[in-house]
Each structure stands twice: as structure tokens, then as C-alpha cells.
Amino acid sequence: MLNNWVVMPTCLPLVLRRCHTCASESFRANGKFRVNANHKLLDAWLLALCTACGETTKLTVLERTHVRSVRPELLDRMHDNDPGLAAELLQDPIVRRRNRITLDWGDAWRLDTGGSDHLDHEVIDVSVHFAARIPVRPVRLIAEGCGLSRAEVERLLAEGKLLSAIRLSGKTSGDFTFMLKR
């Protein structure tokens, strides 16, 4: 029987960028936007606060964009400070590259396994789905979901009792399946 696990975000990740005021390395995005209009040109920023001193930084979303080229629903979501839009924009590689930021998903996700009734089976077939592009080591997910230590999961992998179509040693943010034989 195939078990479905889901890796879900619990909050917005930390934005890793150097603070100009206190030399801290992380900011917390709170889902607030600032939109500025200059005649028919728009600028829009996602605001983030330094985790140490509270200084605000602006992450560029739109820069000198003609107002007619911006979808009205996107503009409405920015005016409403939509946290879902903030999450989408933080995961957008173009926004991250433009602002020279990376994300720290450390404590911003959880694994939903649907219960622990699968742990007593000899063979476990699991499909892991990512609700957002969260880079996590599959070995960590398997250890957490099966109630094992990472060393035990590494041992099972070396013995050939843990099988998957993807490499389980690196990080992944895409869906995958695995089979665990005990």
C-alpha cells in the first residue's frame, strides 16, 4: 500500500542577506508590500525586517514597470499585503537572483505523514510530495517519517534495503518515491 507524505511550509523562510545597520545575516519577511507609482510607472517591493535590529529592507518585485503591463489581480494582492503572494515571490528564482538573496527553510516546514500506522509493516512504499520548493535531504525526511535515526537510514541505504529512483544523499525539493524493506 502506498503511503503519501507531504512536506508543507509552516511559515515564510528566513531571507539570508547582510543587514547594513547591524551586520546580521537574516531577515524575516512579514508579507507586507510597498507599491510606489511615478506617473504611469510602478515600483513594488516586498518588505523584510532584520531579525537582530528590526531594520527594514526592500526586496524588489517590480521596477519601473508600466502600469498596464501589471495584472490587476497581482496589484490587488500587493495592496492587500497577501502573505500567499509573499511566499510565491520568495520562491521565484528571478526575484531571488535580482535581489541577491537565498532562503533558509530551517524551521519553516513540517512533514505530514498521515499517522504512524505504516511503521509496523515489513515493506513501506512512500510517495513524498512537496507543497512548496523546500530543499530538504531525503534521508532526513525518511528518518523523521519512520522514527529512525539518520545513521540508521544511511545503514539501510548502504545495505540496499532503501530504494528510490532519485539519489537520497543530496538535497531535493521535488516529489519522489521510495521503498523501505526491514
* Tens-digit pLDDT profile for residues 7-29: 999 999 999 999 999 989 999 99
Instruction: Please state the rounded mean pLDDT for residues 94-101.
Output: 95
Q: Looking at the predicted structure, is the pLDDT value of residue 170 above 70?
A: yes
Q: Whole-angstrom Cα distance, residue 85 to residue 105?
A: 17
Question: What average pLDDT does the structure give for the chain?
Answer: 92
Burial degree of 167 (CB within 10 A; 0-12, 13-18, 19+) = exposed
Q: Residue 3: its pLDDT value, please?
A: 87
pLDDT reported for residue 119: 66
> What pLDDT, on a 0 to 100 scale, did the predictor assign at position 117?
67
What confidence tier does 79 reach under pLDDT thresholds 50, 70, 90? Answer: very high
Amino acid 118: pLDDT: 65
pLDDT of residue 115: 76
Q: What is the pLDDT of residue 68?
A: 94
What does each C-alpha distance from 143 to 1, 89, 165, 168, 172 come to in angstroms? 20, 31, 18, 12, 15
CA atoms within 13 A on the CB side of 125: 2
3-state helix, strand, coil in the chain (%, to 5): 25, 40, 35
Residue 96: pLDDT band (50, 70, 90) is: very high
